[in-house]
């Protein structure tokens, strides 16, 4: 068995995906029951700590660990970070072991373990999802992750979501990745800004791929630049250069929150001691195709 | 087809020729192209200019950046360095009419020679060959933490700390403290007093390295230098120790933290240089 060690290391996490695949091609799941007997090699504690630290887990968070193994991420999230945490694990023995560890740590009231294939689990209440899964499983989860509440943090180690670039990456013995579920902002928008000297309205087109944005603005049909767009969960910011008057160009910096079909927030115009604040609101007016993926 | 290729070859040769001339004639004049007011705003915004800053503009043209830094951003002082005496005269005149003459000054001279050591912010809109020739001076004479903002043309081999694109490209570089070399680090950890032989290799703001301990080597994870600040993580006996502190070329000291969330604890650390500064 030792020759299989390297792949077995992550095999346990792969069970749910493996079974789903096997099910699809019609081989009886029971024939693969040896999957449940693979040796268990847990995530090192320093990496567990780093995953939860990178996600900035706190007492208001609900953490879901997909493939929770012996429960150490779930219990650490509750014990050291004060969160409520749920582990989803297929292996019955690991589940019992997790529940026992939770009892010993006096964390039973804050943690829960569910014996289930996590592809069937409803984790929409999660504010943080942690994973240690192989790339094919990560890729299959990606679309579901994008449906979570904007701002939900996803943390994984070693394996990533392929062309969805992590918002942050750190290396503490292992590579740890953080993604923040982005709001959906791709489309055409009508933006109204309440500038001190009167309302300024313009049209804006945003193309989106995950958290990456590109776009432009149009003032009464004249093109205007849209620069430095940043999407951070449900928060968006960008700069608009208003160049209608060539001799008196100005830049508007807009910062706001996204809800379905509407964005609103505060902006600034001018810089230094010339800076003026204003309110803005945008309403979605149409769809556009997504941004083409950049080559890795 | 062949003609096209010949043309292309000729163009390439012409370009190489121009570059060769540019490289062999060090003082090709930098053309005077003023930054627009929008560009000026963006440069000073990227540098986060505030009261207390001393802003130097290298190649200050008509003085607009220096004047804006003092007038619009409240910087303590502004200094412009400009080769063209006519532009220097115009800048002084402009500073008087804007009412900031007491806080700005303009030096007629070569940007490669002007004293710059008291700057906390340096702005420039120069061509890359000149920017590169300024680099050794900027790194050795400016204090760590000084912000350098380049408009459109950055250093050819120094990766910016930030790159901003608003109509034009703007690059921010923070002058890093020089920490490359060997250090003796002492700290008191839960297990007792600990001494590490730390070795760091540095290239601009990028550092890597680790610590030698009895019987092994601990790689430094997430090593970072920004201005005079340094941070890295050592994992010793399965505990991650997060070192953070301030550095000079001779000494570093700060706080080390371990544990996470509610269980976090901290101590202090200090390191002294064991060898001369070395480049990575």
Closest Cβ–Cβ partner in B38, B240, B262 for A49: B240
Q: Which two tokens stand for residue A141?
A: 């989860």
For the segment B168-185, the average pLDDT, to the nearest whole number, is 96
* Confidence bin at B218 (pLDDT 50/70/90): very high
- Chain centroid offset of residue A287 CA: 23
Nearest C-alpha neighbor of B42 from the set B221, B189, B194, B171: B171
pLDDT given at position B205: 95
Residues of chain B in contact with residue A50, where contact means CB-CB under 8 angstroms, are: 240
- Inspect the interface and report whether the beta carbons of B41 and A228 lie closer than 8 Å: no
Q: Chain A 260-289, CB below 8 Å of chain B: which residues?
A: 270-274
Helices and strands in chain B, H and E counts? 5, 16
pLDDT given at position A135: 86
pLDDT given at position A40: 54
Q: What angle do CA B5, B6, B11 make, to 5 degrees?
A: 95
Query: Residue B58 class from Cβ within 10 Å (0-12 exposed, 13-18 middle, 19+ buried)?
Result: buried
Give the pairing type, strands B265-273 and B181-189.
antiparallel
* Confidence bin at B278 (pLDDT 50/70/90): low
- Inspect the interface and report whether the beta carbons of B37 and A249 lie closer than 8 Å: yes
pLDDT given at position A169: 96
Closest Cβ–Cβ partner in A45, A80, A225 for B262: A80
Q: Chain B 206-235, CB below 8 Å of chain A: which residues?
A: 221-222, 233, 235
Residue A37 has pLDDT above 50, yes or no: no
Q: How far apart are CA A202 and CA A224, in angstroms?
A: 9
* Residue pLDDT, tens place only, B246-276: 999 999 999 999 988 777 899 999 999 998 7
Residues of chain A in contact with residue B72, where contact means CB-CB under 8 angstroms, are: 271-274
Q: How far apart are CA A130 and CA A109, in angstroms?
A: 20
Q: How far away is chain B from the Cα of A119, in angstroms, using its nearest Cα?
A: 30
Q: Which is more confidently placed, B27 or A183?
A: A183
Q: How far apart are CA B267 and CA B210, in angstroms?
A: 20
Q: What is the mean pLDDT of chain B?
A: 89
- Helical packing angle, A92-104 and A72-79, nearest 10°: 20
* Residue pLDDT, tens place only, B79-112: 999 999 999 999 999 999 999 999 999 999 999 9
Q: How far away is chain A from the Cα of B222, in angstroms, using its nearest Cα?
A: 6
Q: How far apart are CA A284 and CA A203, in angstroms?
A: 10
- Inspect the interface and report whether the beta carbons of A225 and B239 lie closer than 8 Å: no
Q: How far away is chain A from the Cα of B14, in angstroms, using its nearest Cα?
A: 33
Q: How far away is chain A from the Cα of B48, in angstroms, using its nearest Cα?
A: 9
Q: What angle do CA B43, B44, B45 make, to 5 degrees?
A: 90
Residue A25 has pLDDT above 90, yes or no: no
- Inspect the interface and report whether the beta carbons of A273 and B74 lie closer than 8 Å: yes
Q: How far apart are CA B160 and CA B158, in angstroms?
A: 6
Q: What percent of chain A stands above pLDDT 90?
A: 69
Residue with tokens 């399965």: B238
Q: How far away is chain A from the Cα of B43, in angstroms, using its nearest Cα?
A: 11
* Confidence bin at A168 (pLDDT 50/70/90): very high
For the segment A199-216, the average pLDDT, to the nearest whole number, is 95
pLDDT given at position B252: 97
Residue B277 has pLDDT above 80, yes or no: no
A211, A216, A219, A220 alpha-carbon torsion, rounded to 10°: -110
CB pairs under 8 A between A and B: 72
pLDDT given at position A148: 97
Q: Which two tokens stand for residue B154?
A: 């950055």
- Inspect the interface and report whether the beta carbons of B41 and A251 lie closer than 8 Å: yes
Q: Does B262 touch chain A (CB under 8 A)?
A: yes
List residues bridging with B62 in a β-sheet: none
Q: Which is more confidently placed, A198 or A14?
A: A198
Residue A159 has pLDDT above 50, yes or no: yes
Closest CA in chain A for residue B45? A271
Segments making up each domain of chain B, as ranges = 37-174, 181-273
Q: Which two tokens stand for residue A11?
A: 């095999």
* Residue pLDDT, tens place only, A107-126: 999 999 999 999 999 999 99
Pick from A61, A271, A273 the residue to mutate for testing the B interface (most B CBs within 10 Å): A271
Residues of chain B in contact with residue A49, where contact means CB-CB under 8 angstroms, are: 240, 260
Residue A252 has pLDDT above 80, yes or no: yes
Residues of chain B in contact with residue A270, where contact means CB-CB under 8 angstroms, are: 41
Q: Give the CATH H-level superfamily of domain B181-273.
A: Quinohemoprotein amine dehydrogenase alpha subunit, domain 2 (2.40.128.120)
pLDDT given at position B24: 42
- Inspect the interface and report whether the beta carbons of A272 and B261 lie closer than 8 Å: no
* Confidence bin at A220 (pLDDT 50/70/90): confident
Which residues make Cβ contacts (< 8 Å) with residue B28, sequence separation at least 6?
A: B22, B127, B129
Q: How far apart are CA A286 and CA A271, in angstroms?
A: 33
pLDDT given at position B17: 40
Residue B195 has pLDDT above 80, yes or no: yes
Q: Which is more confidently placed, B183 or A296?
A: B183
Residue A105 has pLDDT above 90, yes or no: yes
pLDDT given at position B27: 57
pLDDT given at position B35: 85
* Residue pLDDT, tens place only, A274-289: 788 999 999 999 999 8
Residue B1 has pLDDT above 60, yes or no: no
Nearest C-alpha neighbor of A208 from the set A293, A104, A107: A293
Q: How far apart are CA A52 and CA A150, in angstroms?
A: 19
Q: Chain B 54-73, CB below 8 Å of chain A: which residues?
A: 68, 72-73
Residue B166 has pLDDT above 60, yes or no: yes
List residues bridging with B181 in a β-sheet: B200
Residue A33 has pLDDT above 50, yes or no: no
Residue A5 has pLDDT above 70, yes or no: no
* Confidence bin at A41 (pLDDT 50/70/90): low
- Inspect the interface and report whether the beta carbons of B49 and A250 lie closer than 8 Å: no
Q: Does B44 touch chain A (CB under 8 A)?
A: yes
Q: Which two tokens stand for residue A69?
A: 């193994």
Whether A271 contacts B72, CB under 8 Å: yes
For the segment A67-72, the average pLDDT, to the nearest whole number, is 94
Q: How far away is chain B from the Cα of A102, in angstroms, using its nearest Cα?
A: 18
Residues of chain B in contact with residue A225, where contact means CB-CB under 8 angstroms, are: 166-167
Closest CA in chain B for residue A271? B41
Which residues make Cβ contacts (< 8 Å) with residue A171, sequence separation at least 6?
A: B221, B222
- Inspect the interface and report whether the beta carbons of B259 and A274 lie closer than 8 Å: no
Residue A8 has pLDDT above 50, yes or no: no
Residues of chain B in contact with residue A227, where contact means CB-CB under 8 angstroms, are: 165-167
Q: How far away is chain A from the Cα of B72, in angstroms, using its nearest Cα?
A: 5
Q: What percent of chain B stands above pLDDT 90?
A: 77
Which residues make Cβ contacts (< 8 Å) with residue A11, sequence separation at least 6?
A: A35, A38
Closest Cβ–Cβ partner in A228, A249, A271 for B164: A228
Domain B37-174 = CATH 3.40.50.150: yes
Q: What percent of chain B stands above pLDDT 70?
A: 89
* Residue pLDDT, tens place only, B9-68: 444 444 444 443 444 445 567 888 888 888 999 999 999 999 999 999 999 999 999 999
Q: What is the mean pLDDT of chain A?
A: 85
pLDDT given at position B18: 42
- Inspect the interface and report whether the beta carbons of A273 and B72 lie closer than 8 Å: yes
Q: How far away is chain A from the Cα of B113, in angstroms, using its nearest Cα?
A: 31
Q: How far away is chain A from the Cα of B196, in angstroms, using its nearest Cα?
A: 19
Whether A253 contacts A268, CB under 8 Å: yes
């Amino acid at each position: 068995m030792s020759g299989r060690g390297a792949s077995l290391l992550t095999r346990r996490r792969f069970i749910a995906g493996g079974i789903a695949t096997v099910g699809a091609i019609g081989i009886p799941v029971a024939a693969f029951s040896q999957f449940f007997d693979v040796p268990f090699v847990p995530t090192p504690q320093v990496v567990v700590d780093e995953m939860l630290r990178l996600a900035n887990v706190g007492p208001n968070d609900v953490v879901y660990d997909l493939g929770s193994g012996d429960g150490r991420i779930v219990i650490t999230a509750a014990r050291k970070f004060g969160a409520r945490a749920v582990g989803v694990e297929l292996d019955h023995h690991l589940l019992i072991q997790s529940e026992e560890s939770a009892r010993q740590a006096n964390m039973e009231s804050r943690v829960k373990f569910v014996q289930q294939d996590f592809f069937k689990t409803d984790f929409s209440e999660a504010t943080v999802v942690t994973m240690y899964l192989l790339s094919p499983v990560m890729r299959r989860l990606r679309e579901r992750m994008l449906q979570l509440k904007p701002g939900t943090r996803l943390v994984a180690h070693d394996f990533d979501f392929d062309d969805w670039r992590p918002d942050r990456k750190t290396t503490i013995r292992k590579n740890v990745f953080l993604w923040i579920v982005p709001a959906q902002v791709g489309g055409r928008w009508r933006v109204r800004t309440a500038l001190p000297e009167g309302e300024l309205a313009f049209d804006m087109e945003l193309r989106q791929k995950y958290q990456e944005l590109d776009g432009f603005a149009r003032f009464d049909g004249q093109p205007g630049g849209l620069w430095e767009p940043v999407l951070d969960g449900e928060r968006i910011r960008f700069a608009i250069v208003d160049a209608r008057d060539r001799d008196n160009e100005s830049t508007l910096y807009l910062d706001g929150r996204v809800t379905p079909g509407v964005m609103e927030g505060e902006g600034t115009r001018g810089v230094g001691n010339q800076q003026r604040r204003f309110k803005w609101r945008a309403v979605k007016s149409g769809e556009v195709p997504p941004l083409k993926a950049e080559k890795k | 087809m062949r003609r096209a290729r010949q043309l292309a070859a000729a163009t390439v040769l012409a370009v190489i020729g121009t570059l060769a001339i540019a490289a062999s004639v060090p003082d090709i004049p930098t053309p005077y192209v003023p930054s627009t007011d929008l560009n000026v705003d963006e440069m000073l915004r990227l540098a986060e200019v505030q009261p207390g800053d001393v802003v130097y503009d290298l190649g200050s043209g008509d003085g607009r950046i220096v004047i804006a830094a003092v007038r619009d951003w409240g910087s303590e002082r502004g200094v412009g360095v400009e080769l063209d005496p006519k532009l220097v005269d115009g800048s002084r005149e402009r500073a008087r009419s804007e009412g900031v003459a007491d806080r700005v000054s303009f030096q007629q001279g070569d940007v490669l020679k002007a004293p710059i050591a008291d700057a906390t912010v340096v702005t420039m809109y120069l061509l890359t060959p000149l920017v590169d020739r300024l680099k050794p001076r900027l790194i050795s004479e400016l204090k760590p933490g000084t912000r350098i903002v380049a408009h459109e043309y950055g250093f050819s081999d120094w990766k910016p700390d930030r790159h901003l694109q608003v109509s034009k490209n703007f690059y921010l570089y923070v002058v890093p403290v020089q920490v490359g070399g060997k250090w003796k680090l002492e700290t008191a950890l839960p297990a007792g007093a600990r001494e590490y032989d730390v070795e760091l290799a540095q290239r601009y703001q990028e550092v890597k390295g680790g610590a030698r301990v009895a019987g092994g080597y601990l790689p430094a994870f997430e090593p970072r230098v920004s201005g005079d600040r340094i941070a890295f993580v050592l994992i010793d006996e399965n505990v991650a120790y997060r070192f953070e502190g301030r550095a000079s070329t001779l000494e570093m000291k700060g706080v080390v933290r371990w544990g996470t969330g509610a269980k976090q604890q901290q101590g202090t650390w200090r390191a002294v240089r064991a060898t001369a500064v070395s480049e990575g």
